[in-house]
A = this chain, B = another copy of it.
Amino acid sequence: MSSSPGIGGASLLGSLETCRGDPADVKEGTGHVHGKRRLIELTEQLRAKSRKVTGPRQKILDVLRTNRHPATIREVFAQMPRGDCDLVTVYRSMHLLEGMGMVKRFDFGDGAARFELVNGRDGGHHHHLICTSCDRIVELEDCFAQEMEEAVAARNGFKSVTHKLEFFGVCPKCQTGHRV
């Protein structure tokens, strides 16, 4: 019997032909790229750094790819077909992907780290608005802190300055006559 390419016998990636022209590949406006093509790009990145394209990794990337908001390790794990891989593998894979710059880590203050697939070679730096009542997350396109970052760096003689910024508040749906 031949070795199956992924876990469960079927590869998540179809043929290149199948992917070409996939209407879901580009979600206009946002610049985000979804669909199989994206997944292939991702696995290529793995190969390029001589990391193995394994079943668990493909599944994890596929889950991340479909998430519109940063997800915790447990959330990613929960979204994978049951028993597909160990929780620890998700931790390890995420660490690898983060190190490769393929995913970005976010911290919303609750105990668990959240991860989002990086789109575009620029990094797609952006921030979030989180509802403290229902945990709804709003993706804030672009960043408005670049200037102050440069100012802070220059004023204090720091190099390679980056920043972490998140907003918290009460979303419209949670404002029904409660605390102001």
A interface with B by C-beta (< 8 Å): 107, 109, 129, 131-132, 138, 140, 144-145, 148-149, 151-153, 156-172, 175, 179-180
B166 in contact with A163 (CB, 8 Å): yes
Chain multiplicity (copies): 2
Partner of A167, one of B162, B172, B179: B162
Q: Among the interface residues A153, A156, A170, which one has the most CB atoms of the partner chain B within 10 A?
A: A156
Smallest CB gap from A130: residue in B: B158
Q: Among the interface residues A129, A145, A153, A158, which one has the most CB atoms of the partner chain B within 10 A?
A: A158
A159 in contact with B167 (CB, 8 Å): no
CB within 8 Å for A152 and B129 given contacts A145-B145, A164-B109: yes
